[in-house]
Structure 1
Amino acid sequence: MVQYGYTLMTEQSDPKSLVRWAAEAEEAGWDFEVSSDHYFPWLDSQGHAPNAWVTLGAVAQATSRVELMTYVTCPIMRYHPTVVAQQAATLDLLADGRFTLGLGAGENLNEHVVGRGWPPANVRHEMFVEAVEIIDALFAGGYVSYAGQHFRTDSAKLWDIGEVPPRIGIAVSGEQSCRIAGEHADAMIAVEPKKSLGEMFDRFGGTGKPRIGQLPISFGTDKDAAIERAHDQFRWFAGGWKVNAELPGTAAFDAASQFVRKEDVADQIPCGDDPQAVKDAVKEFVDAGFTHVALVQIGGDQQEEFLRWSEKELLPALREL
């Protein structure tokens, strides 16, 4: 059976609200919860970017049933992989084994803040592989020393980690990232319902492992207002990840998306209060072989209304899939 997740979108909400909605989402019947890990919002109108790891620590205490996940953390610049491993191990203990470490090669938007420049995609993938190897080794226990082309680790060790280490999910968008995920991940992560991604993941070792997708929606009883909100806060989504990974800040995303029309957004993102529209969009992921689908409700001030609607109408409709 497909599992459905609620997204704690740090770019659009303050940390206390995120923790409250995490608890309410669990009560509403969502199966799992994922959190973005951003230093910047995509656009100024979103207006937030609290620390995901601190927030998830509080979420782990405010919930008891839902699986938790970073969607996704970049371990190659803002964080050294040894720090990511320690954060993940600690969070997994706080969550009683409910945590999956979602990893990806990152976006310039969040990583430029450390002032090291933004390497080209092939170099980022080299860095990412080394980072995952370090995290894998630390999760295995014992002391870890590592001397790679991009990272070094000197006698690192995780002193607090569960008997079963956190699961690792890796974000994919093409063959290179699918190979990395197939070789290193316990789950595949993607934002596009492409069957080909799962097939490549399988070919490189991912057969039988979960695949987790994500879909933005804009719920609201006034469909025009829901489209307006989606355009205001999520028009950057139309750029695609090859573009989105390279832009350095909110001004760049605003400029890059200035010609995206409301109708363009409405074509990509289900808007309004029709469960069938969301169900149809989710079905694309299900038909592509995804085992988990997380939804993003656009708009920080719309979450409580969305959660009430999801409990009564949306989740029952999705369970029919």
Structure 2
Amino acid sequence: MRIGYTLMTEQRGPRDLVADAIGAERAGFDFAVISDHYFPWLDEQGHAPNAWAVLGAAAQATSRLPLMTYVTCPTFRYHPVVVAQQAATVQLLSGGRFRLGLGSGENLNEHVVGRGWPPVAVRQEMLAEAVEIIRALFAGGYVTRSGRHFQVAGAKLWDLPDPPPPIGVAVSGPVSCALAGRLADLAIAVEPERELLAAFEAAGGAGKPAVGQLPVCFDPDREAAVARAHQQFRWFGGGWKVNAELPGTAGFAAAGRFVRPEDVAETVPCGDRVDDFVAAVRPYLDAGFDELALIQVGGDSQPAFLHWAEQRLLPALRTL
């Protein structure tokens, strides 16, 4: 399993995120992913810089580290033709180190353009149409389409990388697994569920990689780690069916008000015991994931985590 690092835009400013990408490459992480948010989940996280601007800077500041969006919604804030242009540009800037991770989005980030928030079935239709448009643009030439959700009039990518970025699609249920198996080069998931990967494989994803994500909270003081994980990540317990629907940080604060620190610590390994972190990673390996991106919870703790990961965590994980 390849171990990656998450550039979490919700908890870091743009310059710090670029510095963290440099640190992740130096520490020996196999790849990095970046979230693409307009809002943080909670006010306490306090950040939401533009992910694509950060990616351009990170592509220039690093030389070996593969980069990936985890994930971009190509259907509301961005029209798919814009996403295709952004992805092609980052692929060129990075020298072919970029993968485009896509998903159907969260109301938290997409409500800002005032287009409403349709049911999940409609959002999945929009995502499938968007992926088809992006693929057509990656193939070269002019693209004109009149679809159910998107209009494209004579679009073309004038700076087209060869090869274009691989496309990943987030999976969370049967419909998204079928969509990803048909249209994606890789699956993206945040739960170590073998059933998701089996459905992806059955729908055409056999032999394609799967990338997971796991929040962790390193700190030599375990109590401090648990407190920080609770402060910053208590929103996580709602699950994606809830998380995709809430429109703002106040909603997530309300939804998480009864989540206790010990509840968060049950799913987020906290402290500095390497064995606890390895035990949290193992279910993803057992489920068949090829890659796993770690999220270190807490913006200011990133440099210390990267140093500890280089010295202790990554060597232990590689024994798996």
Give the TM-score taking structure 1 as reference length: 0.99
SS in 2 for 1:155: strand
The CA deviation at 1:50 is 0.2
Map of 1:91 onto structure 2 = 90
Write the letter of the residue equivalent to 2:205.
Answer: G
Counterpart mapping for 1:212-231 below 5 A? 212-231=211-230
Map of 1:78 onto structure 2 = 77
Partners of 2:161 and 2:262 lie apart in 1 by: 48
What fraction of aligned residue pairs are identical, expressed as a percent? Answer: 65
Map of 2:270 onto structure 1 = 271
Map of 1:7 onto structure 2 = 6
Map of 2:29 onto structure 1 = 30
Partners of 1:217 and 1:170 lie apart in 2 by: 23
Runs of 4+ aligned structure 1 residues displaced above 2 Å come to none
Map of 2:156 onto structure 1 = 157
Map of 2:201 onto structure 1 = 202
CA deviations on 1:161-220 (whole Å, 9 max, x unpaired) are 112111000000011000110011110000000001110011000011110000000100
Q: Does 157-166 or 45-54 show the bigger shift? A: 157-166
Map of 1:19 onto structure 2 = 18
Map of 1:302 onto structure 2 = 301
The CA deviation at 1:275 is 1.1
SS in 2 for 1:100: strand
Partners of 1:59 and 1:19 lie apart in 2 by: 5
SS in 2 for 1:83: helix
Write the letter of the residue equivalent to 1:106.
Answer: G
Partners of 2:270 and 2:261 lie apart in 1 by: 11
Partners of 2:273 and 2:71 lie apart in 1 by: 29
1:166 aligns with 2:147: no
Map of 2:243 onto structure 1 = 244
SS in 2 for 1:259: coil
Counterpart mapping for 1:275-290 below 5 A? 275-290=274-289
Partners of 2:67 and 2:252 lie apart in 1 by: 29
Tell me the matched-pair count.
320
Partners of 1:316 and 1:114 lie apart in 2 by: 44
SS in 2 for 1:128: helix
Partners of 2:3 and 2:46 lie apart in 1 by: 27
SS in 1 for 2:215: strand
Map of 1:145 onto structure 2 = 144
CA deviations on 1:263-301 (whole Å, 9 max, x unpaired) are 100101100001111111111000000000000000000
SS in 2 for 1:309: helix
Counterpart mapping for 1:38-77 below 5 A? 38-77=37-76
The CA deviation at 1:66 is 1.2
CA deviations on 1:45-67 (whole Å, 9 max, x unpaired) are 00000000000100000111111
Unaligned segments of structure 1, at least 5 residues:
none
Partners of 2:13 and 2:214 lie apart in 1 by: 21
Write the letter of the residue equivalent to 1:35.
Answer: I
SS in 1 for 2:37: coil
CA deviations on 1:289-318 (whole Å, 9 max, x unpaired) are 000000000000000100110000000000
Partners of 2:267 and 2:165 lie apart in 1 by: 34
Give the TM-score taking structure 2 as reference length: 0.99
Partners of 2:286 and 2:73 lie apart in 1 by: 29
Partners of 2:276 and 2:136 lie apart in 1 by: 44
Write the letter of the residue equivalent to 1:162.
Answer: P
Partners of 1:189 and 1:126 lie apart in 2 by: 18
Map of 1:108 onto structure 2 = 107
CA deviations on 1:134-175 (whole Å, 9 max, x unpaired) are 001001111101111110100100000112111000000011
1:186 aligns with 2:185: yes
1:176 aligns with 2:183: no
SS in 1 for 2:212: strand
SS in 1 for 2:46: coil
